């Protein structure tokens, strides 16, 4: 296994580094051992392709200490586990980005996502690694977020040598073996490895840093953008029986003329009546409310609710007046104290709606019984919960099981897969 | 299709009727060829249809679902009947009530539509229910009875008829229809996506021709035994996965595990085994039946079943075949060491050392270090150190190098923290 020829790849050093990496990051051991090292003189340092091969430059192994090589192993395997190539391809398609410059930017953004919490705890941080800090960006964000925040320019040209291979940015390189080369992993095998690593992290969450825990939670169940979720919850609520477009026996069908003696239902459209209850207590910010309210109004119109059938009710400790949503702008929201949504519900039900949509941060008592209409709750997440200094054991009630709950403002535009 | 011979082209005749010229142009446009290409989506669909499970294709409109169904019908030699759900009325599927002379005596028969009568008369066919998600709720309700109970009015579809439905994903569905959990549980959900290369090449004149899986009559008993063993062993180990209702807004409407969907999984594994399909195809099917999480776990346990049995390896260390991939190889070696720990005997201990030496000689040495350390700790006082250990010197030095790197890294990262 050991190479004696000058300039040959020092496999012993490379494998010692991998062993060290697997010891300090036991939850990544499966993925590290699944990587297949391939000697390459064209890659500047180390790079991966999407088939889990790892291209290694012999000169780089020679000049790099074992501890630092271990860090590079972890870095490269992180590109693959976090599916940076697939996410780069998707980002490039969505934003119509082409060319090697953009792919370099994706490689840098992917490095930022990895590097902010991958080192330390036994792994040496390589001297010239890219961090969000060096680009003047804040830590802990995702590759897609970083991509929006910087562009190539002066000060970044020294990063132009940076190259983690197609596994990092989705652009195929000349030196890579491609899909038909030896020892590539199939998509199912790659998924299986990622799944096993995620399971290991979830099984023993104490040992992994926050970034990896978040990855493990979301890798096979990425949170969907809240707009889509809220939209589908609302649409299915307003198109349920009794509202929307459906068949009724109230009027004869157009086919009836041709079929005497047969009773047929006819298609009728009954636009849904939607009442939006907005929690205007002090704990919900105006920006949050504004974006969610516009979303609800747009969705209601899209599913056939006439504007005069969508009403908005602001509610803090007491329910205020109900306003029809006749204008696109200028919905007046009043309030600002504590919250009691029970009064809001009671007031909303007096308009006999088909659907009640509640926008709230959830720090409120909820009605005891299920109301007589479908309920969608748009929930603004609050980290840590509320705290009452008179009652440290106080916990706000969670939204009831009969409501469909969509968490708003979290994970928008995020997608780990 | 033969290329258009030039003598049929009316090009030289300026007085040719315009429609004839248009016809010649259309003939030229239709003149395409096909090339063989593996298509795992189509293979999965074929197997699920052959296994007589209702399939639901999720895909954006215009993505080639109908083209795939046409190819499938040809492969299975079934006549294809396409029904666009959104242009029908509920009574087209539940039957038109026809009042006879004396309803009190004869009752009111529910007359089926003509295509259903033709299907029943033919006794076999592929029924494709397109646009399921854009039909009004009452039509969907009538259709689901057709899918699940195979009844149209007074008729019952014969067993030779297979049903495939298609729906748009929730995010793009105009009417926000979604499956309730009991319905979702009865379908095999296949995500239908287009392959960019295939489309571009097809528009250039060459469409793919998938070679579809054929069941091997000789493998049927073996396939059933294998499928039963896979599912039962897995559910014995993971009893919590036998039945788990989907929770959370983002998982609504998808596949989830229940005794019913596990039975479907068992059937699909047997079909995939009998057809000799790849793991990628099986992965699509299993994940589409019981959901991503449980499906991936089952596949992971399948991978483990593929690994050689530790007892067999210990019985014949010289002839042992170890897997190529590092992570699998480590799993096998860990299994061997665990087997020795369960029943520690001198001969087994020696055999395990021989296996480690073999692993050292045929692959990456870092994989061997942890099993070797564990095996060494199992030594009894009266067992002499085997001569084979000499050959593991490489692993020992590797381990020492990693230790040294760890010490150095601890110093530097410790100082930085």
Distance CA B269, CA B257 (A): 15
Distance CA B350, CA B331 (A): 19
Residue listed under structure tokens 């067993």: B159
Is the CA virtual torsion B398, B402, B403, B405 positive or negative? positive
Q: What is the pLDDT of residues A297-345, one digit of tens each?
A: 777 666 665 666 777 777 765 555 555 554 444 555 555 556 677 888 8
Q: What is the mean pLDDT of residues A18-35?
A: 89
Helices first, then strands: H and E counts in chain B = 18, 11
B96 interface with A at CB cutoff 8 Å: yes
User: What pLDDT sits at residue A396?
Assistant: 56
- For residue A250, the 8-state DSSP code is S
Q: What is the mean pLDDT of residues A357-373?
A: 80
Residue A316 φ/ψ, nearest 5 degrees: -115, -115
CB distance A67–B327 less than 8 Å? no
CB distance A246–B367 less than 8 Å? no
Residues of chain B short of pLDDT 70, as ranges, are 1-14, 170-178, 247-251, 412-417
Q: Indicate the length of chain B as a whole number.
A: 417
**A212: number of Cβ within 10 Å:** 22
Global confidence as pTM: 0.77
Residues of A in contact with B366 (CB under 8 A): 15-16, 18-19, 22, 33
Nearest to A19 among B173, B303, B369 (CB): B369
A89 interface with B at CB cutoff 8 Å: no
Q: What does the angle CA A169 – CA A175 – CA A179 come to, to the nearest 5 degrees?
A: 70
ipTM: 0.74
Q: What is the mean pLDDT of residues A278-294?
A: 71
User: What pLDDT sits at residue B415?
Assistant: 44
DSSP B119-148: HHHH-EEEEEEE-GGGS-HHHHHHHHHHHH
CB neighbours of A386 closer than 8 A, spacing ≥ 6? A283, A363, A394, A396
CATH number attached to the domain at A226-239+268-382+399-407? 3.40.50
Q: What is the distance in angstroms between the Cα of A16 and the nearest Cα belonging to chain B?
A: 5
Task: Choose the mutation target among A33, A182, A224, A246 for the interface with B, i.e. most B CBs under 10 Å.
Answer: A33
Query: Does the pLDDT of residue A160 top 80, yes or no?
Result: no
User: What pLDDT sits at residue B22?
Assistant: 92
Q: What is the pLDDT of residues A374-397, one digit of tens each?
A: 888 888 776 544 444 455 555 556
Name the CA dihedral angle for B167, B168, B169, B170, rounded to a multiple of 10 degrees: -100
Q: What is the mean pLDDT of residues A124-150?
A: 81
User: What pLDDT sits at residue A310?
Assistant: 77
User: What pLDDT sits at residue B175?
Assistant: 47
Q: What is the pLDDT of residues A238-250, one digit of tens each?
A: 666 555 566 766 6
Nearest to B401 among A16, A229, A234 (CB): A16
**pLDDT averaged over every residue in chain A:** 76
Residues of A in contact with B177 (CB under 8 A): 236, 239
Residue listed under structure tokens 């029809």: A324
CB distance A30–B96 less than 8 Å? no
User: Which residues belong to CATH 3.40.50 in chain A?
Assistant: 226-239+268-382+399-407
């Amino acid at each position: 296994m050991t190479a004696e020829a000058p300039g040959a790849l020092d496999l012993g050093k490379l494998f010692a580094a991998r062993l060290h990496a697997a010891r300090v990051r036991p939850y990544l051991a499966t993925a590290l051992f699944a990587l297949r090292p391939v000697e390459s003189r064209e890659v500047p340092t180390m790079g991966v392709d999407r088939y889990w091969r790892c291209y290694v430059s012999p000169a780089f192994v020679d000049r790099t200490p074992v501890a630092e090589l271990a860090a590079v192993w972890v870095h490269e395997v992180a590109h693959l586990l976090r599916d940076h190539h697939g996410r780069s391809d998707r980002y490039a398609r969505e934003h119509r980005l082409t060319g090697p410059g953009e792919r370099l930017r994706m490689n840098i953004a992917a490095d930022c996502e990895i590097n902010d919490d991958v080192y330390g705890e036994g792994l040496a941080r390589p001297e010239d690694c890219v961090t969000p800090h060096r680009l003047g960006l804040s830590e802990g964000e995702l590759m897609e977020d970083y991509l929006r925040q910087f562009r190539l320019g002066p000060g970044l040209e020294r990063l132009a040598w940076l190259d983690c291979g197609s596994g990092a940015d989705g652009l195929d390189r000349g030196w890579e073996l491609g899909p038909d080369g030896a020892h590539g992993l199939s998509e199912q095998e790659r998924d299986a490895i990622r799944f096993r690593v995620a399971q290991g992290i979830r099984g023993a969450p104490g040992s992994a840093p926050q970034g990896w825990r978040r990855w493990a939670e979301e890798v096979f169940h990425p949170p969907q953008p809240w707009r889509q979720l809220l939209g589908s919850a609302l649409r299915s609520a307003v198109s349920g029986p009794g509202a929307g477009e459906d068949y009724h026996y109230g009027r004869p069908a157009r086919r009836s003329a041709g079929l005497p003696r047969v009773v047929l239902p006819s298609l009728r459209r009954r636009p849904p009546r939607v009442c939006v209850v907005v929690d205007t207590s002090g704990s919900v910010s105006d920006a949050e409310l504004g974006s969610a309210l516009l979303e609800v109004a747009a969705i209601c119109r899209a599913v056939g609710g006439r504007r005069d059938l969508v009403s908005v009710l602001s509610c803090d400790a007491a329910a205020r007046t109900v306003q029809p949503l006749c204008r696109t702008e200028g919905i007046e929201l009043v309030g600002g104290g504590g919250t009691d949504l029970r009064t809001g519900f009671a007031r909303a039900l007096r308009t006999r709606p088909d659907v009640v949509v509640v926008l709230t941060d959830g720090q409120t008592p909820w009605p005891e019984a299920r109301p007589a209409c479908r309920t969608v709750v748009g929930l603004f997440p609050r980290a840590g919960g509320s705290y009452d200094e008179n009652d440290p054991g106080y916990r706000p009630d969670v939204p009831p099981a009969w409501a469909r709950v969509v968490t708003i403002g979290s994970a928008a535009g995020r997608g780990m897969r | 299709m033969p290329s258009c011979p030039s003598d049929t082209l009316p090009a030289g005749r300026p007085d040719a009727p315009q429609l004839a010229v248009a016809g010649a142009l259309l003939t030229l446009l239709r003149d395409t060829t096909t090339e063989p290409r593996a298509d795992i989506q189509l293979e999965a669909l074929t197997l699920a249809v052959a296994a007589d499970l209702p399939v639901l294709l999720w895909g954006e409109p215009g993505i080639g679902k109908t083209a795939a169904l046409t190819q499938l019908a040809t492969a299975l030699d079934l006549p294809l009947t396409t029904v666009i759900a959104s242009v029908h009325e509920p009574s087209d599927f539940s039957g038109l009530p026809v009042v006879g002379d004396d309803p009190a005596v004869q009752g009111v028969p529910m007359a089926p539509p003509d295509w259903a009568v033709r299907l029943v008369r033919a006794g076999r066919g592929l029924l494709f229910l397109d646009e399921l998600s854009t039909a009004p709720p009452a039509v969907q309700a009538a259709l689901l009875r057709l899918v699940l109970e195979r009844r149209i009015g007074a008729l019952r579809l014969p067993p030779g008829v297979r049903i495939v439905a298609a729906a748009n994903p929730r995010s793009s569905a105009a009417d926000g229809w979604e499956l309730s959990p009991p319905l979702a549980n009865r379908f095999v959900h296949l995500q239908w996506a287009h392959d960019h290369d295939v489309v571009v090449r097809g528009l250039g004149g060459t469409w793919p021709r998938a070679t579809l899986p054929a069941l091997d009559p000789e493998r049927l008993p073996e396939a059933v035994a294998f499928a039963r063993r896979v599912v039962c062993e897995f559910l014995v180990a993971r009893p919590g996965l036998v039945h788990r209702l989907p929770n959370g807004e983002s998982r609504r409407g998808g596949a989830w595990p229940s005794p019913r969907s596990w039975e479907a999984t068992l059937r699909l594994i047997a079909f995939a085994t009998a057809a000799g399909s790849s793991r990628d195809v099986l992965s699509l099917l299993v994940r589409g039946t019981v959901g991503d999480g449980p499906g991936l776990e089952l596949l992971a346990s399948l991978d483990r079943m593929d690994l050689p049995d530790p007892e067999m390896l210990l019985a014949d260390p010289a002839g042992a075949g170890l897997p190529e991939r590092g992570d699998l190889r480590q799993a096998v070696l860990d299994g061997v060491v665990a087997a020795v720990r369960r029943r520690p005997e001198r001969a087994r201990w020696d055999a395990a050392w021989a296996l480690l030496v073999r692993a050292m000689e045929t692959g990456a040495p870092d994989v061997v270090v942890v099993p070797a350390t564990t095996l060494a700790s199992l030594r009894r006082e009266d067992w002499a150190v085997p001569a084979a250990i000499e050959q593991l010197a490489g692993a020992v030095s590797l381990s020492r190098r990693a230790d040294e790197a760890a010490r150095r890294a601890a110093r530097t990262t410790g100082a930085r923290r």
